[in-house]
């Protein structure tokens, strides 16, 4: 169901409807797929494989935030040292690739340069159909990188070419992006607490 599907005159009522849509979106995420994504990332971190993440717009912000929570947070009180790189963070590199080649190449060009077999790509795209994200996912699959795709709306092409799809049922960008942000936190915090001594967990803030 589309949200909003009518004009609201009261912001409180809009907030109630937004939160209701958010709860439905969060409930729609496949928990089995989430467990697979968590196991894939935990295994990659333990093996010191590199994790690459990409997205456009608000999804680029989630990509950059993911680096903080997974790289820094993931090794706090654990034996992990996650290697995490956002392909959306280096504006100089991004604009050079976009200007000299094409915007559709900004992520896959970096992957071809940096990634190795056995690494992992996380794509974040509400539509799942951004050309630069699709190209990165296809290259990753073709070169033996595992792909975790966070999607919304209809899922797009990335839903079809990933190893694990964390799909959010929703057609409101804010609601989908909020849920992707929550999934990023859930993955980081679950992996962290799983590698922590039980007695330390209650002493820490997450």
- Over residues 107-125, the pLDDT tens digits come to 999 999 999 999 999 999 9
Which tokens hold the place of 177? 């992006």
Of 50, 36, 51, 54, the closest CA to residue 135 belongs to 54
Q: Looking at the chain, which runs of residues are DSSP E strands? A: 50-54, 83-86, 120-124, 146-151, 164-167
Q: How confident is the model at residue 1 (pLDDT cuts 50, 70, 90)?
A: low
Q: How confident is the model at residue 85 (pLDDT cuts 50, 70, 90)?
A: very high
Burial of 5 (0-12, 13-18, 19+ CB in 10 A): exposed
Q: Which residues pair with 149 in a beta bridge?
A: 123, 165
pLDDT, position 205? 87
pLDDT, position 180? 98
Q: In what order do the strands lie in the sheet with 164-167?
A: 83-86, 50-54, 120-124, 146-151, 164-167
- Segment 79-90 shows an average pLDDT of 97
Lowest mean pLDDT among 86-95, 181-190, 197-206: 197-206
At residue 158's C-alpha, the angle toward residues 153 and 161, to 5°, is: 140
Asked if residue 140 lies in contact with residue 111, where contact means CB atoms within 8 angstroms, the answer is yes
**Residue ranges of domains in the chain:** 12-196
| Domain 12-196 falls under CATH 3.30.930.10 | no
pLDDT, position 82? 97
Asked if residue 135 lies in contact with residue 156, where contact means CB atoms within 8 angstroms, the answer is no
pLDDT, position 2? 81
Q: What is the mean pLDDT of the chain?
A: 97
């Amino acid at each position: 169901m589309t949200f909003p599907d009518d004009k609201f005159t009261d912001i409180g009522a809009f907030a109630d409807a937004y939160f209701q849509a958010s709860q439905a979106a969060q409930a729609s995420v496949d928990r089995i797929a989430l467990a697979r994504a968590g196991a894939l990332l935990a295994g990659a971190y333990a093996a010191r494989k590199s994790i690459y993440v990409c997205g456009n717009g608000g999804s680029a912000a989630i990509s950059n935030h993911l680096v903080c929570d997974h790289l820094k947070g993931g090794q706090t009180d654990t034996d992990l040292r996650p290697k995490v790189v956002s392909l959306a963070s280096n504006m100089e590199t991004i604009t050079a690739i976009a200007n000299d080649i094409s915007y559709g190449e900004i992520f896959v060009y970096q992957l071809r340069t940096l990634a190795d077999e056995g690494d992992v790509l996380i794509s974040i795209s509400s539509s799942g159909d951004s050309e630069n994200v699709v190209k990165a996912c296809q290259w990753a699959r073709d070169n033996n990188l595992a792909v975790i795709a966070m999607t919304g709306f209809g899922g797009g092409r990335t839903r079809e070419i990933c190893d694990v799809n964390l799909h959010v049922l929703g057609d409101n960008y804010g609601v989908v992006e909020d849920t992707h942000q929550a999934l990023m936190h859930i993955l980081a915090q679950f992996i962290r607490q799983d590698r922590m001594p039980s007695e330390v967990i209650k002493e820490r803030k997450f």
